[in-house]
Amino acid sequence: MLSRRQSLRCMAHTGLLAAVGGQAAFAATFLNLAQAQALLLPQALVFQPHPLALDAARVAALAEATQTAVPRGYAPQCWLGLRQQQAEGWVLIDHVVGKYDWIDYAMGFDGQARARGLEIMAYRESHGAEIRNAAWRQQFAGRSGAAQLRMGDDIRNISGATLSCQHVTQGAQRLAVIAQWLATSPAQV
């Protein structure tokens, strides 16, 4: 059994090593728009803004399709990714409240509304930043529509980051439905 002084010394060394080692590995992972677009649709060379026309009827349809409460002032932003003259897919950015502050995130979808991935662009709270972990975000890739993005069934939780996981997943469900609308009739969305 270590004495208390030995335990303190061991913990101090461990903490120092973790801090130093961590700093060395801390390449900035918060993303700006261009970085998120490039990560989500790497084959696209040009991103063309595509304003979304989400009127009250669309918002109601979104709430119905996702079984989520669409936040007031809901206004995700959308870009069409192009490679030369070919559409490669869509990138949508949005924000949700984690526990009390905004989480900015982006999702990429191919032309058939299949998710290419999810990126966390900004996280501002004390707890829950683990949702930036690649393994958690990878769960979204390849899924289509709200029915394939159910929290607990399709998207597993991170203990200690439950609210962030829940709310980002709900946001992803809404974007996945919008992506389906874009895939079928983009001019109407």
Partner 1 sequence: MKPMPFVAVYLIALGLGLCNPAHSEITPEVAAELKALREQLQQVRAELDNLRRAPPPAAALATSPAAVVPPAVAPALAESAPAPAALSFFGYGEMDYSRPRGDASQATATVRRGVLGWSYRFDERTRFAAELELENAVVSADDKGEIELEQFYLEHDLSDKLSAKAGLFLLPVGYLNEVHEPTRYFGVSRNRVETAIIPSTWRELGLGLRGITDSGLRWDAGVVTSFDLTKWDAASTDGQDSPLGAIHQEGQLAKARNLAAYAALNYNGRPGLNLGGSLFTGGVGHKQAGFAAPNASLSLAEVHARWQPGRWDLSALAAWGRFSQVSALNATLAGQASPVPGRFDGAYLQAAYRLWSQGNYALLPFARYERLNTARSYPGLEASLAPAIAADTRLWTAGASLYLNPQVVLKMDVQKYLNDSSLDRFNLGLGFHF
Region 124-183 residues binding partner 1, contact defined as CB under 8 A? 124-127, 129-130, 132-136, 139, 152-153, 155-162, 166, 182-183
Residues that bind partner 1 (rule: CB under 8 A) add up to a total of 72
Which 95-124 residues touch partner 1, going by CB under 8 A? Answer: 95, 99-102, 111, 122, 124
- Tell me how far apart the alpha carbons of residues 167 and 149 are, in angstroms, rounded to a whole number: 12
Yes or no: say if 93 and 76 are a contact pair by the CB < 8 Å rule: yes
How near is the Cβ of 143 to partner 1 at its closest, in Å? 14
Nearer to partner 1, 60 or 156 (CB): 156
Q: How far is 175 from 148, CA to CA, in rounded Å?
A: 12
25 sits near partner 1 (criterion: CB under 8 A): yes
Q: How far is the CB of 44 from partner 1 (least distance, A)?
A: 10
Burial label, 165 (beta-carbon count in 10 A; 0-12, 13-18, 19+): buried
Report the DSSP beta bridge partners of residue 48. Answer: 80
Q: Does 60 bind partner 1 (CB under 8 A)?
A: no
User: What stretch of H or E contains 95?
Assistant: strand 86-97
56 binds partner 1, rule: CB under 8 A = no
> How near is the Cβ of 156 to partner 1 at its closest, in Å?
3
Q: How far apart are alpha carbons 60 and 64 in whole angstroms?
A: 6
Piece of the chain touching partner 1 by CB under 8 A; list 54-62, 70-78, 141-149:
70-78
Element (H, E) at 172: helix 162-184
The nearer residue to partner 1, 11 or 60, going by C-beta atoms, is 11
**Does residue 115 contact residue 147 with C-beta atoms inside 8 Å?**
no
The correct pick among 87, 141, 145, 148 for binding partner 1 (CB under 8 A) is 87
CB atoms within 10 A of CB 74: 17
Q: Which is nearer to partner 1, 61 or 158 (CB)?
A: 158
